[in-house]
A and B are shown apart, each in its own frame.
Chain A
Amino acid sequence: MAQRDSQESHYLSTFAAFEQNGPSASPDWLKALRKQAIANFERDGFPTARRGNELWKYTDVRSLASHAFTLSKGNGHEAIDFAPYDLPCPRVHQLVFVDGHYAADLSTEPPSQAEHQAETIGHRSEGLIVGRLSEAIQERLPLVEQYLSQQAGAGAFAALNTAFVEDGALVYIPDGVAVHEPIYLLFITTGHASVVTHPRVLIIAGADSKATVIQGYESLTADAEPYFTNAVTEIVTRPGAVLRHYKLQREARNAYHVAATHATVGRDSMFASVSLDLGGGLVRNDISITLAEVGASVKLDGLYLGDGKRHIDNHTFVDHAVPGTSSDEVYKGILTDASHGVFVGRVLVRHDAQHTVAHQVNKNLVLSDDAEVDSQPMLEIFADDVQCTHGAAIGRLDPNAVFYLNSRGLDTREAQELLVHGFVSEILSAIVDDAVRQYTDDAVLTKLG
């Protein structure tokens, strides 16, 4: 216990200092929220494997917990060559954070009202917000108090994020507004020191709105000092909204990346998520979707590429809470060297949730003897009039397919490359925005070499 206490006490004392010297102008509700969160963290502690926690049985966070990561002071950042992170489209709403601190020089100014008019359907273009969470808090925007931490509750990591919540992004798309360019939220860690960041993102998609948000997690150097990204994203889509959310994770190989994404999907609204894990040392993603109203649908796609000793754990949860909702989930992994992939996908169809359509599949390509995969699809169905399927596959490249390509003149290396690209293309094609897809295709194909 002494070991555990010291691991948590580091964050408790960091919090005490943060509370005193940190964001002074915080409203009372936020101060209370933080206090409650740190108390929850102190109570729960890190979910170490020996505590018998089912949700963490495949992922051992002891090495993460044993590091004394510190908050970055944010005294400005070095010059950053932005070219590798630039989206190939003319204009995006872009917020960039470096070591957890807003980087004004890399972010775009909010477009003028006149520009907005041209981009919107209908007339209700006013009030689009793509801005800093800290500013929204300072300006006492009711939205923030209304939505922040409404979904991200349970778990030590989410609690830790909430305890240290200070900055991040607020995206608010007003009713009826379609934002055509992607909204780009980028979190860069320099990797010069063992820092912890707690990126927080809140996205509210108004009724019949339409938008694409891409969240990037990058490291300036592949050989960074160990660091810890502890991200929480909360999403609400109102009736009829279409929201596409793409996450590209390319952290350094020494990095710990823990990210929770919660979304509540409204009536006849569509939420599409594509999660690409190309980096990180120890990675844990929790995606939790509540299909809260009739006609709500979610499309969940994920791709994880493991090499070296990477450990990539994806936990997804889809809650079909009401009748007439649908989910379609495809997660794929390619594991080589001594990497370890984990997929646990839970789909809950509640008692009243008749006419639910739920499909889930997890496929893994294991390219070396030392790589390992744990795949656990879980369908829990309490309604009787439903259409649900699930499946999992773990295998090597099909030798018949390799021979087929060989027999047309391709050597085995070329054949494997084409087959691997074919395997990932289903996930990449789930990204419908051309510019984003071009960017993510490049990222994945570069990674696959």
Chain B
Amino acid sequence: MLEITDLHAEVAGVEILKGINLRVDAGEVHAIMGPNGSGKSTLANVIAGNPSYRVTAGTMEFEGEDLATMAPEERARRGVFLSFQHPVEIPGLRMDHFIRAGYNAVMKSRDEDQLDPLKFDRLIRAKAKVVEMDATLTKRAVNEGFSGGEKKRNEILQMAVLEPKLRILDEIDSGLDVDALRSVSASVNELMGPDKATLLVTHYERLLTYIVPNQIHILMDGRIVASGGKELAREIEAKGYDWLAEQQSA
């Protein structure tokens, strides 16, 4: 589904990604782990098309098509979704109006039926139930005054509405207590399917006990330095990242 080859990217003239190779197939869950500043969030944002980042070399293909030349909204319409590490607060714009506009833009691009406010209200209520979110939050301004946990749950609600194929979850576990983490993870798992793929970006091994990955990749200084199964995460939890850095420079 996603094939990244020798990807280089920079922000404000500073190279952050220095040759990423990654392949994610339908039905798979991949986790990207790594220390602060290693480029995890950059990778997530580059795949989603954040214009603050510039791809300088390499290729990104989504279902065989070149992603790098697509506008971010085009990627979204084809089924790429980024759950933001820091969801943006937008005063004055109601959450349900916002996500209906997004939903209808996606549907329109696929020549599928758009929903009027009434029908959309039924949809979003049903999805809110799935992700265990208080539906009254959808009547408030986007993320304004939301707690950290509510913001993350709101990202998952948007994901539930848009039903993307590639789900990139950037630090979905930050700011969540154990109960919230369990509930959000359950929603992510419930919304998964054989035609979908998940890319988890996280600091902590803890998340991976709730959303179990097929593969774990360790990102350090803009490169994937190790890939493996669950045992790799346990090793990181026990030994930290330094041994990998030493191995790398050796």
Q: Which residues of A does B touch, CB under 8 Å?
A: 398-401, 403-412, 414, 418-419, 421-426
Contacts and interface: CB of A to CB of B under 8 A. Distances in A.
Interface string B48-89: 111110000000000000000001110111000110100110
B93 A406 contact: no
B72 A418 contact: no
Contact of B52 (A399, A405, A418, A425): A399
A62 to B, nearest CB: 38
B19 interface: no
Contacts of B141: 422
B219 to A, nearest CB: 21
A177 B81 CA distance: 57
B92 A409 contact: no
Contacts of A412: 71, 73
Interface of B: 48-52, 71-73, 75-77, 81-82, 84, 87-88, 90-93, 97-99, 101-103, 105-106, 109, 141, 158, 162
Nearest to B93: A422
A406 B73 contact: yes
Of A401, A407, A412, A424, chain B has the most CB atoms within 10 Å of the CB of A407
Contact of A406 (B71, B81, B158): B71
Contacts of B109: 409
Given A409-B73, A422-B141, A403 B92 contact: no
A405 B162 CA distance: 13
Contacts of B52: 399, 403
Given A414-B105, A418-B98, A422-B141, A407 B72 contact: yes
Given A405-B98, A419-B90, A411 B71 contact: yes
Contacts of A399: 51-52
Given A398-B88, A403-B51, A409 B93 contact: no
B158 A408 contact: yes
Given A404-B90, A405-B98, A423-B91, 19 more contacts: A399-B52, A400-B88, A404-B84, A404-B87, A406-B49, A406-B72, A406-B73, A406-B76, A407-B84, A408-B102, A408-B106, A408-B158, A409-B76, A409-B105, A410-B101, A410-B102, A419-B90, A421-B93, A426-B92
Nearest to B98: A418
Ranked nearest first, the 8 interchain pairs of A and B with the lowest CB-CB distance are A422-B92, A408-B102, A422-B93, A425-B92, A406-B72, A409-B105, A409-B106, A409-B76
